Amino acid sequence: MFKKLTTNFAPQRGAPLSPDRAAEILHKAASLVDQTSFEWIIVDKPVDGSIFVFQLHPSEPLPEDGYGWMDDEAAFRTIVVDKEMEIISRSQGFGYGDKVAHMTRRRYRLVHSDLQLMHYLQMPDPARHVPVHPQLIKAPPRDPATLPNLTARGPPPPQMVPPYGMAQRGMAGADPAHYKHLGHRKRGRIKTSMQPRAFLEDDHDPSGDELDGSVSRAVALERYKRNHEFIDMIFSPYPIASIIPPQIISDTSADRLEGLKRQQVEVGEEMGKLARSNADEIKEFQEKSKKLSKAIDVIKHAKSLQELDALEAGTTAEL
């Protein structure tokens, strides 16, 4: 069931509503909320061009509209004047018993608002009709036989404005046949002043009261769950304020840094000493190697043992 604004709007056929036009209708509906009221209605397969405004929280699922759909909802956002608008569309809709998908639907919602505008269009080009394949159905259509018989008592009296009929309060231009698909059921007791709408009640079918009660219970249950989820997030035994992140550097980090700097200086000095000592040893080794090479050359040119002994004695003295 939809919680529809009692104010009706003229249908628009041929093309989807522009975001500017949708924003204009939503602004007008928002200004009428305090003057008019909402009513719970059952929507069953709206015809081409149907437009109505209803109230639905973004987190709540969209009620059934009588159509089945072979595609998922596609959503995008755009800026209209100075406000952000969300547009959610479906393009492959079909009724109960239909063989092809021939309906499209768009709903418009201004961000941070619960009012939504629904617009239905029929695809006039048969080439765009898509055959219905059961394995591709995302949302099955609703069987009309499961709906309450809301029109068993004949047409409404002349003073009664049909649901989604001629626009109220001087809004002319609406087609009465355009809205005959919408069923309506009152909630609560019927007052004497509202007897013209009594034909909408079915005394022999108690399902209306049960349906109203089930809707109220479902709404109450969803609100109960959502509120307790919020409470759990706020009053969790592990609030964010009690979570202390681990310290990457301890409280004595300044002393540690000074100590590490001193240690780094000491290690650098020690490495410098080792490097200089190593360089001196290499230099000394190279000098001794040169002297040894020179002595070997002298020995090669010795001609007698006496000369060799003299050379050996001199070389030993030098080394």
Residue 85 phi, psi dihedral angles, 5° rounding? -120, 140
DSSP H or E run through 74: strand 74-80
CA distance 114 to 24: 16
As a whole number of angstroms, the distance between CA 99 and CA 103 comes to 12
CB 139 within 8 A of CB 82: no
pTM of structure: 0.48
**Other beta carbons within 10 Å of 126:** 8
pLDDT at 88: 94
- First and final C-alpha spacing in the chain: 113
- Mean pLDDT for 24-45 is 87
Distance CA 273, CA 288 (A): 23
Q: What is the pLDDT of residues 158-215, one digit of tens each?
A: 333 334 333 333 334 444 444 444 544 444 443 434 443 333 334 444 444 444 555 6
Encoded amino acid at 170, one letter: G
Helix, strand, or coil (residue 34): coil
pLDDT tens digits, one per residue of 241-300: 566 766 555 555 677 778 888 889 999 999 999 999 999 999 999 998 888 888 787 777
128: tokens are 């765009």
The β-bridge partners of 118 are 52, 107
